[in-house]
Chains A and B, each alone.
Chain A
Amino acid sequence: MALPLYYNWRNLFVRKLSTSLTFAVVATLVLVLCVLLSFAAGIRASLAVSGWPQNVLVLKPGATAESTSIITPDEKGRVVQAPGIAHGADGKMLISEELCTQTSIPRRAGEHNMANVAVRGVDATAFGVHPEVKIIEGRRFEPGQLEVIVGKAARDRFDNLGIGGEVRLGRQGNRLYKVVGVFETGGGAFDSEIWGGRTQISDSFNRHFISSAVLRLDDAAEAAAAISYLNGPFVALESKRETEYYEDLSKTTRDIVALTTVLIAIMSIGAAFAVANTMYAAVDGRRREIAMLRTIGFGRGAIILSFVTESLLVCMTACLFGLAGAMFFSGTRQDFLSNSTWTVLAYELKITPTIALGSLGLACLVGVIGAIAPALRASRVHVIEALRKA
């Protein structure tokens, strides 16, 4: 049987300074991890590589994103001659002309601040080109009406975007649109957008050129030919597979997450060293006690277990404190301005059970790894030498 927990618990208070330093390090680690994990969860939509391999997105050369691109009617006329374009059920070519812009609208009640939302004006063909867009509530907008449909994530994030809600769009925010439907793409970037009829949006925002065109081809294998035509001298636009476009967009975000992950890893190693340091001090201060325990019949295993337990006690309590700290800050939103779409990816510090478990897991890992070497040293204490009077 093992040594009792209260034995370890009380020993923690013997070396208060050393214990509290380790405690602070682990609690900070947990806090940073929570921030990273909720950040990662919040931007998952933009991380998701959406799009279709048979869709080709056409932009103005040099435009980094749809919202900074303009395609003139002349250019559009040449785009439609690209090879391999598929036809919809109604016999029309599957080319979606899209107008991308953004506007600032209020967030959900209780947070009286504004944030940017992407607004996309599309025609009915858009639903053929982007079949992943599914209406989950209400209906599609009527062309020519002041009606919009909203992505599920946008509805959750902004104020008054439920069915029947109203939203001010336009250059001066002077047009009142009615929300008639909610759509979902299964985690894609569209989920954070507002879609309306292209001519209406064009009118409201006073933008007369489309931003992009998306071509749906019969087959993904034909994309290369279409792209070489579109990027060639006759059309001179910049086209990409839709999948490739989203991949590029999410790259920055992924880089940030990767960087923070490296930071967490380095912090974890540092924390493990802090734990090891504290535990070594504990072992060295208790050599006689360990020798006595071995004398009265505690085995090496019981000694190892006891020191690992002691370390876990610090790390787990520190983890709870870190989580409590994160809870305290939770609800604070950080706007993460995507530099490619110029829209805000709202990120909220939110402690979900997954995040709490993940933090506890990391804290325990740090505790065990940091305690192993000191615990082994404790188990190897030379009993007779340690018992000798000083």
Chain B
Amino acid sequence: MSAADIVATSVRKVYHKDRIEIPVLDGLSLKIDAGEFVVLMGPSGSGKSTLLHLIGGLDSPTSGSIRVGEYNLERMTERELTAWRSRHVGFIFQMYHLVPVLTAAQNVELPLLLFKMSSAERRERVATALKVVGLADRTDHRPNQLSGGQEQRVAIARAIVTDPDVILADEPTGDLDAKTSEEILALLNLLNSEFNKTILMVTHDPRAASHGQRVVHLEKGVLEREERNPARPAMAAS
């Protein structure tokens, strides 16, 4: 599947707490090219996760529009968004969110159960995904038999097994040590450069941020500034 671009236009997201409006995103606009690796930074509570959830169709903006590839999310029903997510978006979380009672392979297989696909093809796809993340020899391990880094690799395999066009990662290295973080980031880089996935990654870690082609800074609900990474020029433009 080809990568998709992401265009968020004048996105506002307002939460209500005791009838008081809390604007989390305040007219934010952001464009991400297809195949681009963008890092989202900002202080805690600035709305990074909120933006990621909106782009992933887990929630709807109060106003404004979000388009991912050919899909205008604000025009879709909850049911349509759910089906769209299963095919086009791969989520990676800080907490991995693996199912503890399932093996690595079964965890990776989960999203494929929503597809019309023979079990042979599913098995093949799962094997490929686990190979990409370097866990071909851990297929039958349960999450509690894996290290944090390995768990996150399984989660990444689960995110890519459906071959989505967008990967949304919320602090994927937040729980990992420096060395493991580097490995995970290298893996995301690989997905971006080799498999041409559009990646939007939230992080607090400047070292992690250096893997992106572009870093955008979110503050008080708007994009405060952005910088291009000279070490990793965007190749989408070429």
Contact = CB atoms under 8 A, between A and B. Distances in A.
Interface residues of B, number: 28
Contact of B111 (A4, A7, A297, A389): A297
Given A1-B114, A14-B101, A387-B93, A299 B79 contact: yes
B103 to A, nearest CB: 10
A13 B49 CA distance: 34
A252 interface: no
Interface string B67-105: 000000000000100110111000101110101111000
A385 to B, nearest CB: 10
A296 B110 contact: yes
A297 B56 contact: no
Nearest to B142: A10
Contact of B114 (A10, A289, A291, A297): A297
Contacts of A206: none
A10 B102 contact: yes
Nearest to A1: B113
Contacts of A383: 58
B116 to A, nearest CB: 8
Contacts of A107: none
A298 interface: yes
Nearest to B97: A292
B23 to A, nearest CB: 17
B82 A7 contact: no
B209 to A, nearest CB: 20
B101 A10 contact: yes
Interface residues of A, number: 26
A265 B144 CA distance: 43
A296 B99 contact: no
Interface in A373-390: 383-384, 387-389
B59 interface: yes
B158 interface: yes
Interface in B28-77: 49, 53, 56, 58-59
Nearest to A9: B101
A293 interface: yes
A295 B58 contact: yes
Given A297-B86, A384-B59, A289 B113 contact: no
Contacts of A387: 93, 97
Nearest to B111: A296
Contacts of B85: 295-297
Contacts of A289: 97, 99
B102 A296 contact: no
Interface string A230-250: 000000000000000000000
A298 B79 CA distance: 10
Nearest to B117: A1
A361 B87 CA distance: 39
Q: Which of B79, B86, B114 has the most CB of A within 10 A?
A: B114
A11 B111 CA distance: 19
Contacts of A298: 82, 86, 114
A288 interface: yes
Nearest to B85: A297
B94 A389 contact: yes
A134 interface: no
A350 to B, nearest CB: 40
A175 interface: no
Nearest to B171: A389
Interface in A66-83: none
B97 A294 contact: no
A3 interface: yes
A210 B233 CA distance: 115
A61 to B, nearest CB: 73
Interface of A: 1-4, 6-7, 10-11, 13-14, 288-289, 291-299, 383-384, 387-389
11 contacts: A1-B115, A4-B113, A7-B102, A10-B101, A289-B99, A296-B85, A296-B91, A297-B83, A298-B82, A299-B83, A384-B58
